[in-house]
Amino acid sequence: MHFFSQVCEVYRLHKETFALAIDFIDRYLSVTKNIPKTQLQLIGISALFVAAKLEEIYPPKLTEFAYVTDSACSESEIIRQEMILVKALKWNLSPMTANAWLGVYLQVANIDHIQDQELGFVFPQYSTHAFIQISRLCDLSLMDVGSLNFRYSVIAASALYHHTNEELVMEVTGYNWADLYPCIKWMAPFARAILEVGQSPIKFFQNINAEDCHNIQTHNVDMALVDRAAVHQAAYKEKEKESPTSLDLSAQLVGLLTPPANKTRPTEEFTDEEPVSS
Tell me which residue of 205, 197, 211, 204 sits closest to 133, measured CA to CA: 197
Q: Looking at residue 74, what is its pLDDT? A: 96
Q: Looking at residue 248, what is its pLDDT? A: 52
Q: What angle do CA 93, 97, 103 make, to 5 degrees?
A: 130
Q: Looking at residue 210, what is its pLDDT? A: 84
The Cα–Cα gap between 4 and 234 comes to: 27
pTM: 0.84
Q: What is the mean pLDDT of each run of 10 residues along the chain (278 residues)?
A: 88 96 96 92 97 96 95 95 97 97 92 64 76 95 95 98 93 95 95 91 86 88 92 89 62 38 36 40
The Cα–Cα gap between 100 and 93 comes to: 14
145 burial level (CB within 10 Å; 0-12, 13-18, 19+): exposed
For every residue of 95-134, DSSP letters joined together read ---HHHHHHHHHHHHTGGG-S-TTTTTTS--S-HHHHHHH
The Cα–Cα gap between 179 and 42 comes to: 36
Report pLDDT digits (tens) over 113-126. Answer: 666 666 555 567 77
Report all structural domains of the chain as residue ranges with CATH numbers, in order of start.
2-88 (1.10.472.10), 98-270 (1.10.472.10)
